[in-house]
């Protein structure tokens, strides 16, 4: 008797999903831009096929890496789908990347073609001399034009376990790592988020985070694709126009980083702040209880804190859409992802995520097998994040292992000090790092951005810490800054603050 082996990844490919939705609802909106321009699913398939033919004309083949240096736009998505169509691998980067950053990513990944916006192209050109594999740089409209003059190549379809993207981590410390993502990875992440949010085809995402990074690509774009839903893609978050944009386009779901929520709270309140149709907003990175309450009260929409990494692809902890939301925690484990907390019972420990590389976990780090084997050991991904299991089953974030300082014999959690500083009513945001002492030790340093119009001194903030922290946790130095340096996804670039971790 013939047997057919089935797995959760069977048949999952981006082109397959796109064709399925385009055949069923060809006129349904896939992506809309803020000016109202729309691209339907059938039109997206046609555009992606033309771009794929253009890539073939440039000699791009299965497994070749293609650089996408594009802002949030319909073009980003159609080029990603075109790369997937021919079994190639997309390497997206932020349009804000410097030439040095691009030189590393392009040379390390071995990209053969770069597709760059007009604004981003000078940095790509500047990096080109250090990228021996890069043969061609094209604008986002050029490949489709090439493809329209060719006969369909009839290329073989990709497999669900084929790599489809390499996302480079933000590089807050050390060189960025290339996280290899498969077709199955992306679509399973989309299914997890779509199921958790109970997405329907008439739902619409507002995407303000960069599609070149995991949150927007994995959670928003992929959940829209697997559901046949739509998205409005914006090149960044505009606090002044956010509600009007969401309301005008009928947005129902969105996603933030904590820094974006703080920016919205810092913007002037308006009587129309609740004039929207959003029913849920995901967010990552911690907020204070006061910030959580202020946001939900002002904007009238529920926040759901979630936890995931580029390496896990899908979120692995999420606060529930229905039932008890504990946004002071990362939420509850999602279906299909076994979790462990390594260490002693009733104490914080490292979060481990179980899964299958290339299916529910990243396939690995590009050209780094030893690093991959250290991070994924016997089917368990070591996140490097310290968490605590609460009695009710929710999981609380404690700190990154890399964010644990050692100024003396005791460890200091950078996150704990940042939380205490953020609780001061004059503080907008704080970042804590470590600096080397003359004797080779380390001391705690804080960088604080103050709310507009507030007048507070560094000594007052240190007094605030002295009341709430053990003496060894109080920063030795505190610097007032206008703003904190960030990665494109909103994470604080601690290495750029002047301290050492």
The yes-or-no verdict on residue 368 having pLDDT over 90 is: yes
pLDDT for res 439 = 55
Residue 250, pLDDT > 70, answer yes
Residue 498 pLDDT greater than 70, yes or no: no
Both 259 and 392 in one domain: the answer is: yes
pLDDT over 50 at 501, yes or no: no
Same domain, 426 and 354: no
Average pLDDT over residues 234-262: 94
Which of 69-83, 316-330, 407-421 bottoms out in mean pLDDT, i.e. has the lowest? 407-421
Same domain, 385 and 421: no
From the list 281, 300, 289, the residue with the least C-alpha distance to 326 is 289
The domain total for the chain is 2
| Three-state DSSP string of 25-52 | CCCCEEEECCCCCEEEHHHHHHHHHHHH
Same domain (yes/no): 214, 142: yes
Determine, yes or no, domain membership for 355: yes
In the block, residue with structure tokens 């729309």 = 38
Q: What is the mean pLDDT of residues 99-103?
A: 89
Query: What's the rounded Cα separation, in Å, for the pair 132 and 495?
Result: 29
Parent domain of 102: 14-396
The reported pLDDT for the residue numbered 171 is 45
Instruction: Give the pair of three-digit tokens for residue 9.
Output: 């990844």
Query: Which residues sit opposite 332 in a β-bridge?
Result: 318
Same structural domain for residues 364 and 418?
no
What pLDDT does 5 receive? 66
% of the chain residues with pLDDT over 90: 75
Q: Residue 148: what pLDDT?
A: 65
Pairing of strands 442-450, 477-481: parallel
- Say whether both 427 and 361 belong to one domain: no
Asked whether the predicted pLDDT for residue 181 surpasses 90, the reply is yes
Q: For residues 31-44, give the mean pLDDT.
A: 96
Is position 452 within any domain?
A: yes
**Residue 7: pLDDT band with limits 50, 70, 90:** low
Place of tokens 């790599």: 163
**Residues near 344 by Cβ (< 8 Å), separated by ≥ 6?**
none
Q: Is the pLDDT of residue 11 over 90?
A: no
In a domain, 8, yes or no: no
Q: Work out the percent of the chain whose per-residue pLDDT is above 70.
A: 93
Q: Is the pLDDT confidence value at 352 over 70?
A: yes
Tell me which of 361, 396, 431 is where a domain ends: 396
The count of residues in the chain is: 501
Judge whether 153 lies within some domain: yes
- Model confidence at 172, pLDDT cuts 50, 70, 90, reads very low
Concatenating the DSSP letter of every residue in 117-154 gives -TTTHHHHHHHGGG-TT--EEE-TTHHHHHHHTS----
9 part of a folded domain: no
pLDDT for res 409: 54
Mean of pLDDT values over 312-322: 97
Q: Which pLDDT score, from 0 to 100, does residue 205 have?
A: 98
pLDDT of residue 343: 83
Q: Has residue 42 got a pLDDT over 70?
A: yes
CATH of residue 413's domain is: 3.30.300.30
Lowest-confidence region among 8-12, 88-92, 481-485: 8-12
The reply to whether 379 and 298 lie within a common domain is: yes
Q: Is 417 in the same domain as 391?
A: no
Q: Residue 177's domain is classified under what CATH number?
A: 3.40.50.12780
pLDDT at 150 over 80: no
Residues 239 and 119 reside in one and the same domain: yes
Q: Are residues 343 and 453 in the same domain?
A: no
Q: Which of 20-34, 256-270, 457-471, 481-495 has the lowest mean pLDDT?
A: 481-495
With respect to residue 327, please indicate whether it lies within any of the assigned structural domains: yes
- 282, pLDDT greater than 90: yes
Same domain, yes or no, for 366 and 426? Answer: no
- Residue 356 · residue 378 · CB < 8 Å: no
Answer yes or no: is pLDDT of 446 > 50: yes
Choose the final residue of a domain: 396, 425, 453.
396
Q: Which two tokens stand for residue 392?
A: 């009710």
Looking at residue 161, its pLDDT comes to 96
CA atoms of 414 and 405, how far apart (whole Å): 7
Distance CA 276, CA 279 (A): 9
pTM as predicted: 0.87
What mean pLDDT comes out for the span 106-129? 96
Q: Is residue 226 part of a domain?
A: yes
Among the candidates 336, 367, 396, a domain finishes at 396
What is the rounded average pLDDT for all residues in the chain? 91
In a domain, 136, yes or no: yes
Same domain, 304 and 376: yes
Residue with tokens 């390390």: 108
What span, in angstroms and rounded, lies between the C-alpha atoms of 101 and 466? 40
């Amino acid at each position: 008797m013939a047997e057919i082996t089935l797995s959760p990844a069977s048949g999952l490919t981006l082109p397959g999903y796109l064709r399925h939705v385009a055949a069923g609802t060809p006129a349904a909106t896939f992506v809309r831009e803020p000016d109202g321009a729309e691209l339907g699913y059938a039109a997206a398939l046609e555009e992606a096929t033309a771009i794929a033919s253009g890539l073939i004309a440039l000699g791009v083949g299965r497994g070749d890496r293609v650089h996408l240096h594009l802002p949030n736009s319909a073009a980003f998505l159609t080029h990603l789908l075109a790369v997937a169509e021919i079994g190639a691998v997309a390497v997206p980067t932020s349009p804000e990347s410097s030439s040095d950053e691009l030189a590393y990513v392009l040379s390390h990944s071995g990209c053969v073609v770069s597709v760059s916006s007009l604004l981003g192209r000078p940095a790509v050109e500047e990096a080109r001399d250090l990228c021996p594999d890069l043969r061609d740089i094209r604008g986002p409209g050029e490949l489709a034009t090439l493809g329209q003059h060719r006969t369909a190549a009839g290329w073989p379809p990709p497999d669900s376990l084929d790599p489809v993207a390499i996302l480079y981590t933000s590089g807050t410390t050390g060189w960025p790592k290339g996280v290899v993502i498969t077709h199955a990875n992306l679509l399973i992440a989309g299914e997890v988020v779509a199921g958790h949010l109970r997405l329907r085809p008439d739902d619409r995402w507002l995407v303000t985070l960069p599609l070149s990074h995991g949150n927007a690509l994995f959670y928003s774009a992929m959940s829209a694709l697997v559901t046949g839903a739509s998205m409005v893609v914006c090149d960044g978050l505009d606090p002044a126009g956010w509600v009007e944009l969401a309301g005008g386009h009928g947005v129902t779901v969105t996603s933030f980083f904590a820094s974006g929520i703080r920016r919205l709270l810092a913007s002037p309140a308006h009587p129309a702040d609740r004039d929207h149709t959003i029913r849920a907003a995901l967010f990552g990175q911690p907020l204070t209880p006061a910030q959580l309450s202020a946001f939900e009260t002002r904007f009238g929409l529920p926040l759901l804190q979630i936890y995931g990494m580029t390496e896990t692809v899908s979120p692995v902890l999420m606060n529930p859409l229905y039932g008890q939301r504990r946004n002071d925690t990362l939420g509850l484990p999602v279906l299909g992802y076994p979790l462990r907390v390594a260490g002693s019972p009733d104490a914080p420990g490292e979060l481990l995520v179980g899964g299958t590389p290339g299916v529910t976990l990243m396939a690995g780090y590009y050209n780094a097998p030893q690093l991959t084997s250290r991070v994924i050991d016997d089917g368990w991904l070591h996140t490097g994040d310290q968490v605590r299991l609460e009695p009710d089953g929710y999981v609380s974030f404690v700190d990154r292992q890399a964010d644990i300082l050692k100024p003396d014999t005791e460890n200091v959690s950078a996150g704990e000090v940042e939380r205490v500083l953020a609780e001061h009513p004059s503080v907008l945001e704080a970042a804590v790092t470590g600096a080397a002492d003359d004797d080779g030790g380390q001391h705690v340093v804080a960088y604080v951005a103050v709310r507009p119009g507030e007048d507070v001194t560094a000594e007052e903030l240190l007094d605030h810490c002295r009341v709430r922290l053990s003496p060894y946790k109080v920063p030795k130095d505190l610097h007032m800054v206008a703003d904190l340096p960030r990665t494109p996804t909103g994470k604080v670039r601690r290495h750029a603050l002047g301290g050492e971790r």
